[in-house]
A and B are shown apart, each in its own frame.
Chain A
Amino acid sequence: MAKPKIAFFDFASCEGCQIEFTNFGDAATLELLNHVEIVEFREAMTETTTGRIDIALIEGSFTREADRVRLQQIRHRAKYVIAYGACACTGGINALKNHQDDFAEYVYGGDARMPHLRSGTAQPISAAIKVDYEVKGCPMSKDELLLVISNLLHGTEHVIPTYPVCVECKRRETICRYDEGDHCMGQVARAGCGAPCPADGIPCEACRGFVDDANLPALEKVLMERAGFSQKRAVGKSRMFTANLRS
């Protein structure tokens, strides 16, 4: 069987997820290349393609109508579409601007009117085209990406955790942030990352988005009662990665 063709595409993002992919390292990437053929990958090669692809990996948010056409073309060419990274799966950090209107002046000052800064609401790729799989995280979890590709290669069903980060955090016996007087959103964040942030002593910011039935009233209660947040801060917490998921 011919090796499946894989191509990487990027939209509004920092391309950090592509870099994360290269963090597999040379030896490991070469192993993977025994099984797949990479036909387009801006961060690592110059060639591009317009032909059929088996797996399209899309990074970044959908922010302009012009993106929609490009996305539809990719969808048309690709057998499977995998959105990877928080920007592509939930809007990620880009979605921070969706709740405000003065961000351009705030960030770019006198250059705020540059034409390429004109963009709309930051949305996940799934708002424009059908996405078959999502690899969450900021940056994306490269092991999870590998798992999706493995499952596609082997024809097995891809299952990702539907439980929150606390499960993985407890499995590695991390001291709960709340037991050190801090706060955390691991109770509502979707697991799959292995809970690295609390293990490093920092709160989970839910970069992988929320679990489907996130109990946000209870989160707000805990943030106020145990972490001492004001109501305003508890309700606004945290838009960093979940702006599109919060009202």
Chain B
Amino acid sequence: MGYLYLEEKDFAAFVDALIAAKRVVGPTAKRNKFVYEQLASADELRLDFDVTILPPKKVFFPPAQDIVRFGEQAIEGCIAPVDTVLLGVHFYDVKGIDMTDYLFRERKEDWNYLAQREATTVVASNIQAISPRAFWDSVGAEVKPKGHDAFLTKLAGGCVLETLTPKGEALAAFGAFRDATADEINAAQQTNDSVMGQCSEKLGYTSEAIAAKVRDSFDNEELWDELAMDCFSCGSCNTVCPTCYCFDVKDAWNLNQVSGSRTRYWDACLTREFAAVTMAGGDKENFRERHQSRFRHRFMRKTAYLNEKLGGPACTGCGRCSQACTVNIADPVRVITAIMEVGS
């Protein structure tokens, strides 16, 4: 494990060599936004992205994923990992991946996620552009980005690749890398430090203070009514979140009525029937019937409930929910600040 350097002129050849050998997924432009897509050539890669619409978890946990396919006789699983390099992940999304890694391993290992996760080399990259809704520099400072295999930092004239695991080291074979000099390593460190403090949105409280106050506000119905008044229960704040991991499972028959598949889909706790259950005797109960209680639930999950397991809040500050909420009420900075200011 160490620091390597690649001249800018050799970068495209490195990426193309990777593409020739493996599936390479990275940020690409989609009109005025960015999305992770499989790369067909190095020039599709946009490491100057600010944030992607969906987080990179979709590589391991696709929005719709077949779990089993069944025929008249046989049922077969669908786990089929593909050797993949996920190239260009900002540090806040590295944190998100590390959280879903933990959550899908917890208690019962979920190989529908873990198989592809283990077959993937995650290459983080420095932040070259900052999304207007991001606040990653003021949330969960105690949660360190980890679990990635390498970290790529672009400098003037080239880039430094810090290799952190054997998978990360194996990348060196695909490009004309040499060892990085102490100056280059320092420059990379400075480049990464320099973006901190640059987000335009800011959380002005510690994770502990936020967790305590949000929990204390649980019964403040007036507050949640007001915060959630305009909520559509559309779940966009969940579906774009790197740390949301809930899914729903559905079966469907093919037209022949003999074969079919069982598929899991991203679910969203803001939607109306997320918490609807069928009880013994067939009665239905929805234990979060009102949109205010669903809205509150997400904030409990992102600021308090998971903190012990994850070592900090289940929010990375990516700002995707703030951007996705068409009525602009999902922004954790605004909501948490409003909660913190109650009674103070």
Encode contact with A along B259-281: 1 for CB under 8 Å, 0 otherwise: 00000011010011100000000
Cβ-defined contact, B234 with A31, below 8 A: no
Query: Whole-angstrom distance between the alpha carbons of A226 and B324 in the complex?
Result: 13
- Tell yes or no: B344 within 8 A of A by CB: no
Query: Whole-angstrom distance between the alpha carbons of A137 and B133 in the complex?
Result: 35
- In the complex, the chain B residue whose C-beta lies closest to that of A24 is B255
Cβ-defined contact, A218 with B327, below 8 A: yes
Residues of B within 8 A of A35 (CB): 257
Cβ-defined contact, A34 with B257, below 8 A: yes
Residues of B within 8 A of A31 (CB): 255-257
Cβ-defined contact, A34 with B272, below 8 A: no
The contact of B266 among A154, A159, A171, by CB within 8 Å, is A171
- Tell yes or no: A108 within 8 A of B by CB: no
Q: What total count of A-B pairs have CB within 8 Å?
A: 112
Cβ-defined contact, B54 with A187, below 8 A: no
- Tell yes or no: A166 within 8 A of B by CB: yes
Cβ-defined contact, A163 with B256, below 8 A: no
Cβ-defined contact, B33 with A163, below 8 A: no
The contact of A187 among B64, B232, B253, B273, by CB within 8 Å, is B232
- In the complex, the chain B residue whose C-beta lies closest to that of A147 is B252
Cβ-defined contact, A215 with B272, below 8 A: no
Query: Whole-angstrom distance between the alpha carbons of A167 and B253 in the complex?
Result: 23
Cβ-defined contact, B272 with A212, below 8 A: yes
Cβ-defined contact, B232 with A173, below 8 A: no
Say whether, besides A32-B255, A164-B233, A167-B268, A221 and B33 are in contact (CB < 8 Å). no
Encode contact with B along A22-35: 1 for CB under 8 Å, 0 otherwise: 00100010011011
Nearest-neighbour CB distance to chain B for A154, whole angstroms, equals 7
Say whether, besides A171-B265, A175-B53, A176-B326, A215 and B230 are in contact (CB < 8 Å). yes
Query: Which A28-67 residues sit within 8 Å CB-CB of chain B?
Result: 28, 31-32, 34-35
Residues of A within 8 A of B58 (CB): 173
- Chain A interfacial residues counted at CB < 8 A: 42
Residues of A within 8 A of B315 (CB): none
- In the complex, the chain B residue whose C-beta lies closest to that of A166 is B234
Nearest-neighbour CB distance to chain A for B270, whole angstroms, equals 9
Residues of A within 8 A of B236 (CB): 166-167, 170
Nearest-neighbour CB distance to chain A for B292, whole angstroms, equals 12
Residues of B within 8 A of A76 (CB): none
The contact of A222 among B229, B252, B271, B327, by CB within 8 Å, is B327
Cβ-defined contact, B326 with A170, below 8 A: no
Cβ-defined contact, A146 with B230, below 8 A: no
- Tell yes or no: A96 within 8 A of B by CB: no
- Tell yes or no: A102 within 8 A of B by CB: no
Encode contact with A along B20-42: 1 for CB under 8 Å, 0 otherwise: 00000000001111010000000
- In the complex, the chain B residue whose C-beta lies closest to that of A214 is B232
The contact of A179 among B33, B234, B255, B273, by CB within 8 Å, is B33
Encode contact with A along B185-225: 1 for CB under 8 Å, 0 otherwise: 00000000000000000000000000000000000000000
Say whether, besides A163-B273, A170-B236, A222-B327, A154 and B255 are in contact (CB < 8 Å). no
Query: Whole-angstrom distance between the alpha carbons of A154 and B258 in the complex?
Result: 10
- Tell yes or no: B45 within 8 A of A by CB: no
Residues of B within 8 A of A187 (CB): 232, 234, 326-327
- In the complex, the chain A residue whose C-beta lies closest to that of B278 is A157
- Tell yes or no: B231 within 8 A of A by CB: yes
- Tell yes or no: B288 within 8 A of A by CB: no
Query: Whole-angstrom distance between the alpha carbons of A214 and B251 in the complex?
Result: 27
Say whether, besides A24-B255, A221-B230, A173 and B35 are in contact (CB < 8 Å). yes
- Tell yes or no: A13 within 8 A of B by CB: no
The contact of A178 among B232, B250, B326, by CB within 8 Å, is B326
Query: Whole-angstrom distance between the alpha carbons of A34 and B250 in the complex?
Result: 24
Query: Whole-angstrom distance between the alpha carbons of A28 and B254 in the complex?
Result: 10
Nearest-neighbour CB distance to chain B for A143, whole angstroms, equals 8
Residues of A within 8 A of B35 (CB): 173
Encode contact with B along A210-239: 1 for CB under 8 Å, 0 otherwise: 011111011101100010000000000000
Cβ-defined contact, B268 with A163, below 8 A: yes
Cβ-defined contact, B30 with A164, below 8 A: no
Apart from A31-B257, A164-B233, list 19 A-B contacts with CB within 8 A. A34-B256, A147-B252, A150-B253, A162-B272, A163-B272, A166-B232, A166-B326, A167-B234, A167-B235, A167-B236, A170-B53, A171-B239, A173-B35, A176-B324, A179-B323, A211-B233, A215-B231, A215-B291, A221-B230
* Residues on B facing A (Cβ under 8 Å): 30-33, 35, 53-54, 58, 63-64, 229-236, 239-240, 250-253, 255-257, 265-266, 268, 271-273, 291, 323-324, 326-327
Nearest 7 A/B pairs, CB to CB: A171-B63, A170-B239, A166-B234, A163-B271, A187-B232, A218-B230, A150-B253
13 cross-chain CB contacts under 8 A: A31-B256, A153-B257, A164-B235, A166-B232, A166-B326, A167-B266, A167-B268, A175-B30, A179-B323, A187-B326, A213-B272, A213-B291, A222-B327
* Residues on A facing B (Cβ under 8 Å): 24, 28, 31-32, 34-35, 146-147, 150, 153-154, 156, 159, 162-164, 166-167, 170-173, 175-176, 178-180, 184, 186-188, 211-215, 217-219, 221-222, 226
